[in-house]
Every structure is written in C-alpha cells, then in structure tokens.
C-alpha cells in the first residue's frame, strides 16, 4: 500500500466512489447467498505471509 491508500478500507472507499452504483452493489454483495464472498474469504484465510530473510 502507499500513502494514498494506506489500507483496504481506503481502497474500498475510493472504489465505491468510482464504480457505478449497480456494479458496486454486485461486487460488494457477493451475489445471491454470498457464496462468492465466502469462497474468497476462505481462500484469503489460507494465505500466510512470511518474512523474507536476506543474507
């Protein structure tokens, strides 16, 4: 991230301003029973960040 977008919340806010309302609702809502959001959340929960050690 950078100074303009220090976190995910800042990115979400800017995206909501720029994307047409119907598209934002589609993307933000997860569609239907929110299965897309559930799948994405499960996938992200499996990601592990590791510090790289440099010699």
Asked whether residue 51 is domain-assigned, the answer is no
| Residue 50: inside a domain | no
Average pLDDT, the chain: 82
Q: Give the pLDDT confidence of 25-38 residue by residue, as tens digits.
A: 877 776 667 777 78
Q: Average pLDDT, stretch 8-23?
A: 87
Residue 26 lies in a domain: yes
CB 24 within 8 A of CB 16: yes
Residue 25 forms part of a structural domain: yes
The pLDDT value given to residue 32: 67
3-7: long-range contacts (C-beta < 8 A, 24 or more apart)?
none
Count how many domains the chain has: 1
Q: Which residue did the predictor score with more confidence, 19 or 25?
A: 19
In this prediction, residue 38 carries a pLDDT of 83
Q: Report pLDDT for 17.
A: 93
Within a domain: residue 13? yes
User: pTM of the predicted model, to two decimals?
Assistant: 0.47
Q: Which domain holds residue 25?
A: 8-44
């Amino acid at each position: 991230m950078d100074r303009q977008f220090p976190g995910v919340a800042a990115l979400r806010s800017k995206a909501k301003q720029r994307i047409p309302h119907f598209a934002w609702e589609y993307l933000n809502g997860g569609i239907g029973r929110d299965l897309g959001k559930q799948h994405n959340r499960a996938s992200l929960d499996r990601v592990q960040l590791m510090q790289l050690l440099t010699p």
